[in-house]
Amino acid sequence: MTLHFLDLSQPIIAAGPNCPAHPLVESRLGADHPEHGWRWETLTLASHTGSHLDAPLHKLAGGASIDSLPLDRFAGDAYIVNLRPIGSREWIAAARLEELLPALPPDSIVLLSTGWGDRRERSDDWLYGSPRLAPDAARWLVDRSIRGLGIDHWGIGGWDRANDAEVHTILLEASIWICEELRLPAEVCQMAMPQQFVALPINLPGHTGAWCRPVLVMR
């Protein structure tokens, strides 16, 4: 059987859009043709840059690190939630998720398509004005025993630092991993659900998160 992958990742590029609390991405040539006979780059970036996964240790002292989570946790049936159009700083509340996911099975992966991944840019509105998951929505997802949660922006809780901290705590305390900076174009919202989602983290021992290459597996 031939598998096809629909790439849901955002590129990591020098000085590209990322969480404003993190350093800008730097990419420098360490060697080049023809002088050295090789070409390679040195990257400087936070571990929560581009498409990445958050482990409990990201918010919880003593929580599990990204390498300690079983790889099979990062694959499974995904339900893509069409939240388009959604405005700046708009709340994603429990009532809205319940309306759009009336029969969400346990152990599902939920992917929030806001459209902000299409806009990805280094602007004040994109960096600081994104939609934000409300704490009641995070609790609603915990109550449904989901496996993981993804969004097409750098942060699940937006630039409201208190809200972002609360939402991360609610989800990560329940061992729900978070995948941020996805690319969820409008067409994926029209697909039949569920879809098979895979996002394997880079093996970074003891780290709070890691870059990943998220895909939908198309049969």
pLDDT, tens digit, for every residue of 64-84?
A: 999 999 999 999 999 999 999
Name 212's bridge partners.
Answer: 201
219 pLDDT band, cuts 50/70/90, is confident
Output the pLDDT for position 2.
86
CA-wise closest residue to 69 among 217, 216, 169, 177: 177
Please check the confidence at residue 1 and state whether its pLDDT lies above 80.
no
Residue of 24, 17, 26, 21 lying closest to 50 (CA atoms): 17
Instruction: With beta carbons less than 8 A apart as the criterion, state whether 171 and 138 touch.
Output: yes
Dihedral sign computed on CA atoms, order 171, 157, 9, 2? positive
Query: pTM of the full predicted structure?
Result: 0.96
Reported as a single tens digit per residue, the pLDDT across 12-64 is: 999 999 999 999 999 999 999 999 999 999 999 999 999 999 999 999 999 99
Which stretches within 64-180 are classed as H helix? Answer: 94-100, 124-128, 135-143, 161-173
Report CA Rg, the chain. Answer: 17
Annotated catalytic, 36? no
Instruction: Determine which one of 33, 48, 52, 58 is catalytic.
Output: 58
